[in-house]
Amino acid sequence: MKKLSRTSPSKIVFLIMDGLGGLPHPKTGKTELDSARKPSLNRIAKDSLCGLIDPVNPGITPGSAPGHLAIFGYDPAEYNIGRGVVEALGIDLALKPDDIAARGNFCTVDNEGIITDRRAGRISTEKSTGLCRALNKIAINGAEISVLPVKEHRFVFILRGEALSPELADSDPQQAGLAPKEIEALSPQAQRTAEIANEFVSQARSLLRGETPANMVLLRGFSRRPDIPPIPEIYKLKPAAIATYPMYRGLARLVGMQVLPGGESIAEQLDNLHRYYADYDFFFVHFKTTDARGEDGDFWAKVQAIEELDNALPSLLSLDPEVLIITGDHSTPATLAMHSWHPVPFMLKSKWCRPDNVAEFSEQACLSGGMGRFPATEIMPLAMANALKLDKFGA
């Protein structure tokens, strides 16, 4: 791609509806997309090349990071991003290459040390910020420690120092009713790092004793930032991200995008798209609500989220980007109330896209689209081609 890509004035917009794909409602037999009133999405589908993407592989349920990496053209099996790194990037933390990051939760344990709430009743960000300040006073020989609040019960734990290793198992057992686990070294080189991390947890336990409900911490996803070739380098694009959630801003930054102001709603995000439209040639606009309502298991709220996005679309369409792609990073069917492995509706609108017979944006309709079912990693080359930003391959 590096050899074929070229810069041109044409604009590419990726509108990613997080967790877009769904499953039929048991009563109606219709998915969330089927059930939504969505005239703009349908109109775009009519002029688009449609299909269904497999974010990773058939049967594989992607986390948000691999789902987005695939859409941005990276093989998610090759570039594995740890949870800690994703969390750190989301709060604008400039991770150094050797920094080790973990995702932290404030949690509640009982008198026997058994977890009763993995999220400490989702304490307020203000409360969590104060507790992080206290934990930041912990000093351990051989490493510099930072504890940074994210949102509610979530924080980032950073270790910086010589000869440390991220090969550590989680302390978070991922369910209540168990005690937090001792952090295990997964390789001999990580022995010292494991000791430091366990010492931190032990001191944190003492410091938080007496707090209610956040009287303990859980750590998971120890990781270093992976070495990802940035989008400007591969595609000669000037990319920007408009996302409301920290994690997606972090992901965008990781692949070399400029992070622009987000906004409180999709309408505000699209206002920002207008504002910065002249300054970049690639935009990643991230819409979170479809996933959030899917995870809640609230079918009709997810339908409503789709309708909210559909209502905002005329603003985007008025910009008439040379290439507009609308898809999702994975499915989050409300009936499952979690991410799933099901392929995700996709459409690409451009002057040069060879439209198919699909006249509706839905799982079923996209199946017979011009792209059929295909891997998400093929989206970037398609976008570049339709923006006439790719040279011919070979003589």
Name residues whose C-beta falls within 8 Å of residue 261's C-beta, 6 or more positions apart in sequence.
242, 272
φ, ψ for residue 233 (rounded to 5)? -75, -45
Q: Does 368 bind a copy of itself (CB under 8 A)?
A: yes
Closest CB 38 distance from a copy of itself, rounded Å: 19
Residues 48-77 within binding reach of a copy of itself (CB under 8 A): 56-66, 76
Nearest residue (CB) to a copy of itself, 212 versus 357: 357
CA dihedral 266, 53, 27, 46 (to 10 degrees): 70
Interface with a copy of itself by CB under 8 A: which range of 128-136, 154-162, 315-323, 381-389? 381-389
Q: Does 88 bind a copy of itself (CB under 8 A)?
A: no
Measure Cα distances from 288 to 166, 242, 244, 359 in Å.
30, 11, 8, 25
Residues 144-173 within binding reach of a copy of itself (CB under 8 A): none
Among 71, 109, 326, 390, binds a copy of itself (CB under 8 A): 390
Q: Does 250 bind a copy of itself (CB under 8 A)?
A: no
E strand map for 144-294: 144-151, 154-160, 216-223, 239-243, 258-259, 282-287
Q: Does 33 bind a copy of itself (CB under 8 A)?
A: no
Instruction: Answer whether 216's CB lies under 8 Å from 108's CB.
Output: yes
Residue in 215, 146, 220 with CA at minimum distance from that of residue 184: 220
Among 17, 71, 81, 100, binds a copy of itself (CB under 8 A): 81
Distance of alpha carbon 100 from alpha carbon 360, whole angstroms: 46
Q: Does 245 bind a copy of itself (CB under 8 A)?
A: no
DSSP of 270-306, one letter per residue? HHHHHHHGGG-SEEEEEE-HHHHHHHHT-HHHHHHHH
Nearest residue (CB) to a copy of itself, 31 versus 244: 31
Closest CB 81 distance from a copy of itself, rounded Å: 6
Q: Does 23 bind a copy of itself (CB under 8 A)?
A: yes
Total residues contacting a copy of itself by CB under 8 A comes to: 59
CA dihedral 164, 156, 290, 238 (to 10 degrees): -70
Q: Does 339 bind a copy of itself (CB under 8 A)?
A: yes
Provide the binding-site residues for a copy of itself, judged by CB under 8 A.
Answer: 4, 23-24, 31, 56-66, 76, 80-83, 86, 103, 221, 333, 335-336, 338-342, 352, 354-357, 363-364, 367-368, 370-374, 378, 380-386, 390-395
